[in-house]
Each structure stands twice: as C-alpha cells, then as structure tokens.
Amino acid sequence: DADVTQTPRNRITKTGKRIMLECSQTKGHDRMYWYRQDPGLGLRLIYYSFDVKDINKGEISDGYSVSRQAQAKFSLSLESAIPNQTALYFCATSDSRGSEGYTFGSGTRLTVV
Amino acid sequence: LAKTTQPISMDSYEGQEVNITCSHNNIATNDYITWYQQFPSQGPRFIIQGYKTKVKNEVASLFIPADRKSSTLSLPRVSLSDTAVYYCLEGNNRLAFGKGNQVVVIP
C-alpha cells in the first residue's frame, strides 16, 4: 500500500457541484498539505496542516476548504466547483523536523465541465 | 513562504552529467535544501537533501557553497528515464515549490 493515498484518482464533475478529495497517510507524519498543479505553473500550495487542530491557508486557498479529521486524514473540498479549478491535485506529508523530506500521493486529476 | 528560483528547462544527451542550479538568496539559518524529481502525472519524489558542503547518494550529488545562497544538483550519466522536472526547496517547515527545471534527456 502507498504511504500517501489519494482518492479518487480521476474525477469529472459539473460546474457548481461540491466535491471532496481525500487523502490518507500511513507515514505517521504530523504535517499534511494540499497542492494543485497546472501546466507550466509548477505546484502551488492550497492549504496545509501541522497537526489535527491546525489549518493554514496557502497561496491559493480561495474556493477551497479543508478538514483534518485525524492525524492520518486530510480532505480538500471544492464547495462549488468552477472550470478553472480543473487541475492535478496532490496531497503531501512531512514530519515536524522535515528530516525525511516530503512524501507525495499519486495525485487526483480533477476536471470541471 | 520561501521561494527558490531555477532555470526553466534544459536538454542533455544520454550519458552526460547534468547540473541544475537553484538560487535561494534568503535561506534561513536552519533551513535544509531538498531536491525532488517529478515525472508526468506523478507526485514529486524526494531525491536528496543537504545543509552545506556536499552530499551524495546513489541517485545524485548535491553541492551547497559556504554562503548557502545556491545549490547544485548533479545527476551523473543521465539516461532517458531521468527526463523529469526537478524542484529545489528551501526549508523544512515551509513548502513552496517554484516551477522547477524541466530536464529532457535526448538519445
């Protein structure tokens, strides 16, 4: 099993729909992150969490919300999806010291039509 | 969030050594520099991490000069499978990827 698992792997949804992307990890890491990746723009940080009761906005949090349900779970929601949220979304984890680097999931490809 | 800057793209022939430099002029005293590799439609994966001087593992070498304002990732004798985007990252408490460096290995 992968250390960081994202579900679903692919999703097509309609404009205006609510959608949740889920992330779970078996690394035992405290810190979790959500990124989106668009062609030519690299990875941009949406939200991050340093522990269960901690939520922080990243560069591009507008239109997104997150929930850290447990140490191992961090979900990303789009309350009302719009086409420019079509992207590849990655979840990542790290420990508090950063000594192991960051572990990324395989990504969720989201298309909003 | 701390940002790094890298060249956008570079081509290299198989078997050559590839060196990618990253600038991090405002790196904090306690920050490490970490490099990642990303293949299309996959998440980035950790390659190497260092604080200063030289670090080497089975995949790459990392050289960080004394002023730590830059770092150079060295990939020895690249193969086609090394075609990927490479990111450098400063800091272990913050996470801010730039656009990375697209390395294309040519037969």
Give A71 to chain B, closest Cα distance, Å.
17
Q: Is the preceding peptide bond at B44 cis, omega within 30 degrees of 0?
A: no
Measured CA distances, B107 to A59, B13, B17, B19 (Å): 39, 6, 14, 18
Distance separating alpha carbons of residues B107 and B104, to the nearest angstrom: 10
Among B34, B43, B99, select the one facing A104 at the smallest CB separation: B43
Given this model, what pLDDT does residue B103 score? 94
Closest chain A CA to residue B101: A42
- By the 8 A CB rule, do B54 and B43 touch? no
Lowest mean pLDDT among A32-46, A64-78, B58-72: A32-46
- Using a CB-CB cut-off of 8 Å, the residues of chain A touching B44 are 43, 90, 102, 104
Check A104 against B34: CB less than 8 A apart.
no
- A chain contacts of residue B96, beta-carbon cutoff 8 Å: 45, 59
- Lowest mean per-residue pLDDT among A78-87, A97-106, B85-94, B98-107: B85-94
Mean pLDDT, range B9-23, rounded to an integer: 92
**Residue B62 scores a pLDDT above 90:** yes
Position B17 confidence tier, pLDDT thresholds 50, 70, 90: very high
Q: Does A43 touch chain B (CB under 8 A)?
A: yes
- From CA A55, how far away is CA A36, in angstroms rounded? 17
In this complex, do B34 and A102 lie within 8 Å of one another by their Cβ atoms? Answer: yes
Pick from B103, B100, B80: which is nearest to B89 by CA? B100
Q: How confident is the model at residue B104 (pLDDT cuts 50, 70, 90)?
A: very high
| pLDDT for residue B93 | 47
Q: What pLDDT sits at residue B85?
A: 92
Torsion of Cα atoms, B7 then B25 then B34 then B93, to 10°: -130
Average pLDDT, chain A: 93
A10 shares contact with chain B (CB less than 8 Å): no
